[in-house]
Amino acid sequence: MSLLKIQNPRKAKMARNKVLQNKKACRHLPTGFFVPLYFLAVMLGFSSCDSVGSTGGAAGHIMPNVNGTAGEVLVVMDDYSWEHEAGEIIQDILKEEIVGLPQSEPLFDVIQITPGSFQNAFQFHRSIVLTTVGSGKEAKISFRENVWAKPQIVVQMQASSAEALRDLIREQESRLQAFLVQYDRKRQIENYQKTKDEGIQNLMTKHHQIKLAIPRGYNLDFSKDEYSSVSIESSELSQVIQVYDYPVAGPEDLSTEKLIEKRNEMTQKYVIGPREGSYMRISGLFPPVAYDLVIDGLQVVELRGLWELENGYMGGPFISHAMYDAARGRIVVVDGYIYYPNQKKRVKLKQLEAIVYSTELI
């Protein structure tokens, strides 16, 4: 299956091998079929966690690396609590459906074991929710890093009974979910920072005055002052980061309507489909969900939703951050999108999400 590549509009009719040789291409979307199923409108909020501690072992002690797969959480809970309300609530929290995917996928995959089984390799898991029920125990929650391995997060919850544990989980559900999501993202960003492509970074600095944690393995498709694109391509996958910036009058241009209009304008120009007159646009049937964020003091609007192909049958999820750069009177957009038909997309989207969240203005 030929993958759709971004092409320079002036050279859109050139043969594919010529495009690949000169490297001045927008992306051509691959041929395929996509039908959006639905769009989820629930998003977790961020609640700051001020009770984070770090153990890290004795001085000079080298901690083992974590095990487990990305997007997986180990819940240590007795069977009675797990099979009743406490377990039901924590599963609802961790398995909440991700916003902006064409099919239902949970935030996390969840593994449950009993406290008696929590030893040896289980203690090295990357993300642990450790619950304890015992007479006289005060209901409380704490967040710790690198207790038995690194980079590890351990959320400890204790209560005097299964009912008290249920109430604690319900009270802390937003905080628990947000912390696990953000720590998972933090790990991904740190990994990408260690392996980032310096050549691509230099181009992002030159053309857009930003820093991005884009790891090695991405290929440059197109880069100039207005628009840049990098991607990972295979016979089945297109995983793309696109960056563009443009002058604005002020932060009022961060409205959802204007951001959607601008994205559609840019992708019509740069993300060309395999058929004459086909190009990328945001789905009209499933409008994106917008979130107002403040990241490192910067005003940011996050869009999550689905893209589709005008005059075609392709689509997939995207995430974008639009940030107002007051010093330069502009908006910078860092946008990640995927084409991965008939496959689960959570892992690929989270990889792009980490890159998007790593953005720094220079």
Same domain for 227 and 353?
Answer: yes
The answer to whether residue 35 is domain-embedded is no
Do both 106 and 248 map to the same domain?
Answer: no
Same-domain check for residues 263 and 244: yes
Domain boundary among the residues 172, 192, 212 is at: 192
For the chain, the domain total comes to: 2
Q: Kindly give, in sequence order, each residue whose CB lies less than 8 Å from that of residue 230, ignoring residues fewer than 6 positions away.
A: 200, 214, 218, 219, 220, 221, 240, 241
Residues 138 and 210 in one domain: no
Asked if residue 125 belongs to a domain, the reply is yes
Residues 352 and 207 in one domain: yes
Asked whether residue 44 is domain-assigned, the answer is no
Residues β-bridged to residue 140: 158
For residue 332, tell me if it sits in a domain: yes
* Structural domain containing residue 16: 9-30+196-361
Q: What CATH code is carried by the domain that includes residue 298?
A: 3.40.1000.10
Q: For 186-239, how does the pLDDT look when each residue is reduced to its tens digit (9 = 90+)? A: 999 999 999 999 999 999 999 999 999 999 999 999 998 899 999 999 989 999
Task: Classify residue 169: in a domain, yes or no.
Answer: yes
Q: Are 89 and 169 contacting, i.e. CB atoms less than 8 angstroms apart? A: yes
Tell me the CA end-to-end span of the chain in Å, nearest whole number. Answer: 39
Q: Are 320 and 293 in contact (CB under 8 A)?
A: no
Do 146 and 168 fall within a single domain?
Answer: yes
Chosen domain end from 129, 160, 192: 192
Average pLDDT of the chain?
Answer: 86
Of 292, 273, 289, the residue nearest 281 (C-alpha): 273
Answer yes or no: is 165 within a domain. Answer: yes
The CATH number that applies at residue 124 is 3.30.379
Residues 160 and 293 in one domain: no
One-character DSSP codes across 18-37: HHHHH----EEPPP------
Q: Last residue of a domain, which of 165, 192, 219? A: 192
**pLDDT tens, 302-343?**
999 999 999 888 999 999 999 999 999 999 999 999 999 999
Domain assignment present for residue 43? The answer is no
Q: Which amino acid is at 56?
A: G
One digit per residue, pLDDT tens: the chain, 362 residues?
224 544 443 233 333 333 333 333 444 444 332 323 222 222 333 333 344 555 555 555 789 999 999 899 999 999 999 999 999 999 999 999 999 999 999 999 999 999 999 999 999 999 999 999 999 899 999 999 999 999 999 999 999 999 999 999 999 999 999 999 999 999 999 999 999 999 999 999 999 999 999 999 999 999 988 999 999 999 899 999 999 999 999 999 999 999 999 999 999 999 998 888 999 999 988 999 999 999 998 999 999 999 999 988 899 999 999 999 999 999 999 999 999 999 999 999 999 999 999 999 99
Q: Are residues 143 and 239 located together in one domain of the fold? A: no
Give the H/E segment covering residue 164.
helix 162-171
Asked, for residue 124, whether it belongs to a domain, the answer is yes
